[in-house]
Structure 1
């Protein structure tokens, strides 16, 4: 076996390890990448890692998955990058499909089955509030950005249609791009040259899926288009995906109940790998009417739809990123896009709480989860496991009494 093939094999093996052990959110994930990809294996250097991370955060889609694929692209080109994508998302996808099947089975066969999740549903809102606080602290640095956060939160709350979100993102980006003169100038070695192939691929798949879905009304095609569209519009990571999915699949299409959605979101917080894996859970339940095959197909279709656009876009941009980042309006627009995403996250927390009973227990679980995340180092999986165990105990005691 050649040295190159051995290096590729080791790289994929490292991705498998990460897919099974990457708990703790983006900060923990980046620390693991730094230790394994840079320090131990030297696939790339530290400066390259931070630059690729910044690039992925600038693009729509799952930033952690894009970062894995970008490193794979640097190490072995497109083929290794696509293999990395498959290896990275497969464990979490299968876990969330299984979770969807289990939740549906319990609901159909055991009255009140979701009582075991009675605590992790409000806990999920605690996770979102914590994520919103961290995201705002990182991304919102100016008065203009905070105004955009408030506008976005207000509009997202009162008009929670999935078609409103892209308009908000465009508005946010344009409103701050006009301040490009505040950005430092960067030297340009040569004119910008763009290879449009992957951009055409991204746009072509979107138009093709939308056209075929509109003509045939096939549920599988429509599901793929829904997730592909969402994957093309999400800035800010998995937490920002929540309002999109909730608005489209709970409020708009009623494929899931609020309780099912919150249970799935809470479970996804205890699963290693990409946070976008919540999509497989939503996709599986969206096709439950077709039985076991529907669960599996729905979960896999959702995973393909949510992850592919971000990968097409990172492959498109990475080829000319060194030139593109010299343009100040591009960097300035990110402030507005990120601020708008934060506003959507605030609205999501309230929209998810609205259907729940506003009792002392739910409020206590929300605040308690936030406090644990904020002031302790207890991991997300341990918090979720504790909530499930507590729910089982309370449910068991209540049946005895």
Structure 2
């Protein structure tokens, strides 16, 4: 029996569970969902697996870090905007601080040969987490030949087309096919929306302000703010998409850091628990150092 998701929960207990998730979340968003399922659903029953799957599908359509958005959405559902903000801080702040510190210790990594030797086993470990999460989610959503066909369609499409637009396109197409095939009556429901316009205003203010300041003022911190803010609101598809974009801008175009330093940070973030976007803290600190 799952918990009534509308019932208030203890802020302290929920944030403790979020922190536990942050300590065990290796391998990127695909692997993080398995951790969320274990801690937030199987053990604490904050929501159902169906609710989690719907949130995952929604965040995959949005730009930005999908696993972080999923967890913040759960926090919002449990306790409103305040708990959502605290959830984001507890989930992301520890690894962000660690990545910033590591950016100032990058020279030591080379001395101890961690760049080449200590990080090469992290990738295969992350694959295991991803396979487990995919299996658990797959057993819930792949129920017949039609859903199996959607799975194959999504896998083939995203494998052969390496572009940011393919992720929302596949999800949108799959949703349309599912609706067209559905025999459920009254599938469409009228919903009254009350958009948080004040948040949209602040988003637009920082987005436009970053572009204007970057155009008129030649300062590395302003350029970095504009670049990383743009990565957050434009890039769809997670770290696999944003990392090549960051490499092109920060290494090849702006020359803020060397290729070796960039790849070292990317290897480190895969070996640490927490959100993959914490790599931006490392890259930003390295770029600011010059």
TM norm. shorter chain > 0.5: yes
Shift, 1:123, TM fit: 6.7
User: Which residue in 2 is equivalent to 1:204?
Assistant: 205
> Structure 1 runs of 4+ off > 3 angstroms?
24-28, 112-116, 119-134, 138-146, 168-183, 191-194, 198-201
Residue 50 of structure 1 deviates from its aligned partner by 1.7
Are 1:268 and 1:275, in contact at CA under 8 Å, matched by a contact in 2?
yes
The aligned counterpart of 1:65 is 68
Q: In structure 2, which of residues 49, 55, 72 is the aligned counterpart of residue 46 of structure 1?
A: 49
Structure 1 pair 13–196 and aligned structure 2 pair: CA distance change class (3 A): closer
For residues 275-314 of structure 1, give each alpha carbon's deviation from its aligned partner in whole angstroms, at most 9, with x where no partner exists: 111111101100114xxxxxxxxxxxxxxxxxxxxxxxxx
Larger % of helix: which? 1
Instruction: Tell me what 1:96 maps to.
Output: 99
**Shift, 1:79, TM fit:** 1.0
Work out whether residues 38 and 45 of structure 1, in 8 Å CA contact, stay in contact via their aligned partners in 2: yes
Aligned mates of 1:83, 1:216 — CA distance in 2: 34
Q: Contact 1:121–1:259 (CA<8 Å) still a contact in 2? A: no
2:190 match: 190
- Is 1:81 matched up with 2:79? no
1:61 counterpart SS class? coil
Preserved contact between residue 27 and residue 127 of structure 2 (Cα < 8 Å): no
Aligned to 2:240: 239
1-structure distance, mates of 2:245, 2:253: 10
SS in 1 for 2:179: coil
- 1:72 Cα offset (Å): 0.5
State the match for 2:144 in structure 1. Answer: none
Deviation at 1:235, TM superposition (A): 2.1
Runs of 5+ consecutive residues of structure 2 not aligned to the other structure? 1-6, 133-137, 139-149, 181-185
Further displaced range: 79-88 or 26-35: 26-35
Superposed CA deviations along residues 65-99 of structure 1, whole A, max 9, x for unmatched, are 11110000001101110111111111110111111
CA distance in 2: counterparts of 1:169 and 1:221, whole angstroms: 25
CA 1:208–1:5: 2 relative to 1, 3 Å: same
Contact 1:128-1:239 at 8 Å conserved across structures:
no
**Structure 1: how far apart are the matches of 2:21 and 2:172?**
36
| Pairwise CA distance, 1:274 | 0.6
Unpaired stretches in structure 1, ≥5 consecutive residues: 154-167, 290-401
Instruction: Note closer, same or farther for the CA distance 1:132–1:44 as it changes in structure 2 (3 Å cut).
Output: closer
Aligned partners of 1:176 and 1:74: how far apart in 2?
23
Cα distance 1:43–1:102, how it changes in 2: closer, same or farther (>3 A)? same
Distance 2:131 2:95 in 1: 26
Q: Is the 8 A contact 1:123 1:266 kept in 2?
A: no
* Distance in 2 (alpha carbons) for counterparts of 1:43 and 1:273: 20
**1:257 Cα deviation from its structure 2 partner:** 1.0
Equivalent-residue separation in structure 1 for 2:24 and 2:126 (angstroms): 22
Larger Rg: 1
Contact 2:56–2:70 under 8 Å retained in 1 = yes
C-alpha distance 15-122 of structure 1, shift in aligned 2 (>3 A) = closer
CA distance in 2, matches of 1:259, 1:171: 30
State the Cα distance separating 1:273 from its structure 2 match: 0.6
Cα-to-partner distance string for 1:157-179 (whole Å, 9 max, x where unaligned): xxxxxxxxxxx645986799789
Deviation at 1:231?
1.3
Alignment of 1:256-267 (within 5 A): 256-267=257-268
CA deviation vs aligned residue, 1:348-368 (integer Å, no higher than 9, x gap): xxxxxxxxxxxxxxxxxxxxx
